[in-house]
């Protein structure tokens, strides 16, 4: 069971912070980018450690792909700078073209050449004179790369249309790895795959890059993909990085409500904060370093609200959605115990009646109309009233 105790939770890093590692492969400082009158990037700061994996996640139009193209060298930043391995490649009058940055790029659709075989796609751009055996060396290198991405070397003779979507993405990765890049950029490379193939391909690609020691940046709009793939997650919203940190921190301790709701399902309740205890329809819930006192909004993840026979909170099932291994359960909360014991309902104590959503594995005990006992596990995150509405 996950330990949500305060001693187990490190502090989150937000957009003003960057990785503290002194061994950073990539350093982005105060980068902006406009297209005409539209500001796409608005002062982005980001550090990526050598050999690390960072996922940049955000909704469509938030600036993710633009940032990736700046790192690759396909676009110039308007202001700010980008450095690779301590050497500036963009900004302050410096410009290093894309082909000299030792960066690999895998696009969303793989961008394979349809008229070339798999082997020709992978070897495209390789210099035969730099390999032992020249043309035999290229054939050997292609076989090695196909094996590296868990594909049969015999596939080198096929055309891209003869491969599945997942196989095409692995070929695109092999082509990007052929030039031995130091930094790999993945621009939503799994989004066109079906769910099962997507997970398998993501795992295979992640293992290949980790084994090769290649620093990796994944751009995605899929929250689960970002949290499972990377050791650092950067949440982008409206051209800025709202929060940067390890996946556990950005999920359990989001910097603001908009980030909380983008990264997964969130239970948001009105609450009254006194000291480090927030009182709401789920009772008294501890909050670490609350940002304000008095009226706040409280955030819990659905999995923190458990069905328990001895739970002090009661709620009635409104409806459910069955997903096989788990059921999403919508509950209308009863009047909180603090009111049931005779306390006066005022601004400190919400009067109950909120509808919340939780998850449970046993659909048979969550039928509509059933009253359930609930218990909250761990701490909540509080947001001040000015954070009520997402941007």
- pTM of the full structure: 0.82
**In a 10 Å sphere around its CB, with 0-12 CB exposed, 13-18 middle and 19+ buried, how is residue 86 labelled?**
exposed
Q: What is the pLDDT of residue 20?
A: 43
CATH superfamily of the 6-102+181-252 domain: P-loop containing nucleotide triphosphate hydrolases (3.40.50.300)
Of the candidates 219, 158, 233, the one whose C-alpha atom is nearest the C-alpha of residue 190 is 219
Residue where the block lists tokens 């187990």: 8
Of the candidates 265, 301, 292, the one whose C-alpha atom is nearest the C-alpha of residue 386 is 292
Mean pLDDT by 10 residues, the chain (391 residues): 40 39 86 96 96 94 94 96 96 93 86 91 77 74 87 92 88 87 90 79 86 92 91 96 96 94 93 94 92 94 94 93 92 68 48 83 91 95 73 44
Domain positions in the chain: 6-102+181-252, 265-387
DSSP 156-173: GGS-GGGS-HHHHHHHHH
Residue 361 to residues 211, 321, 365, 380, Cα–Cα distance (Å)? 36, 11, 9, 23
């Amino acid at each position: 069971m996950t330990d949500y105790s305060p001693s187990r939770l490190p502090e989150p890093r937000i957009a003003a912070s960057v990785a503290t590692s002194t061994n950073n492969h990539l350093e982005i400082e105060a980068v902006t980018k406009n297209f005409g009158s539209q500001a796409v990037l608005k002062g982005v700061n980001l550090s990526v450690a050598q050999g690390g994996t960072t996922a940049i996640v955000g909704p469509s139009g938030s600036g993710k792909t633009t940032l990736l193209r700046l790192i690759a060298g396909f676009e110039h930043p308007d202001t700010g700078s980008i450095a690779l391995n301590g050497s500036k490649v963009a900004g302050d009058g410096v410009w290093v073209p894309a082909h000299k940055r030792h960066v690999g790029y895998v696009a969303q659709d793989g961008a394979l050449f349809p008229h070339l075989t798999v082997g020709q796609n992978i070897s495209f751009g390789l210099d035969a004179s730099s390999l032992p055996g020249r043309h035999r060396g290229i054939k050997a290198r292609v076989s090695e790369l196909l094996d590296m991405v868990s594909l049969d070397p015999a596939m080198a003779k096929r055309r891209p249309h003869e491969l599945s979507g997942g196989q095409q993405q692995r070929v695109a990765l092999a082509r990007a790895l052929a030039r031995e890049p130091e930094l790999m950029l993945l621009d939503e490379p799994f989004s066109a795959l079906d769910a099962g193939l997507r997970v398998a391909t993501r795992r295979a690609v992640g293992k290949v890059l980790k084994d090769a020691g290649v620093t990796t940046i994944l751009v995605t709009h899929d929250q689960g993909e970002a949290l499972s793939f990377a050791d650092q997650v950067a949440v982008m919203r409206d051209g800025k990085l709202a929060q940067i940190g390890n996946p556990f921190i950005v999920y359990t301790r989001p910097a603001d409500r908009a980030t909380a709701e983008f990264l997964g399902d969130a239970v948001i309740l009105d609450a009254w904060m006194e000291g480090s205890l927030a009182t709401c329809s789920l009772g008294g819930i501890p909050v670490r370093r609350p940002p304000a006192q008095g009226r706040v909004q409280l955030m819990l993840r659905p999995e923190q609200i458990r069905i328990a026979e001895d739970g002090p909170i009661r709620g009635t099932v409104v409806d459910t959605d069955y997903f096989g291994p788990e059921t999403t359960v919508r509950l209308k909360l009863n009047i909180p115990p603090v009111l049931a014991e005779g306390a006066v309902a005022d601004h400190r104590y919400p009067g109950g009646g909120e509808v919340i959503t939780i998850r449970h594995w046993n659909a048979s005990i969550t039928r509509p109309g059933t009253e359930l006992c609930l218990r909250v596990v761990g701490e909540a995150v509080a947001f001040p009233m000015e954070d009520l509405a997402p941007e």
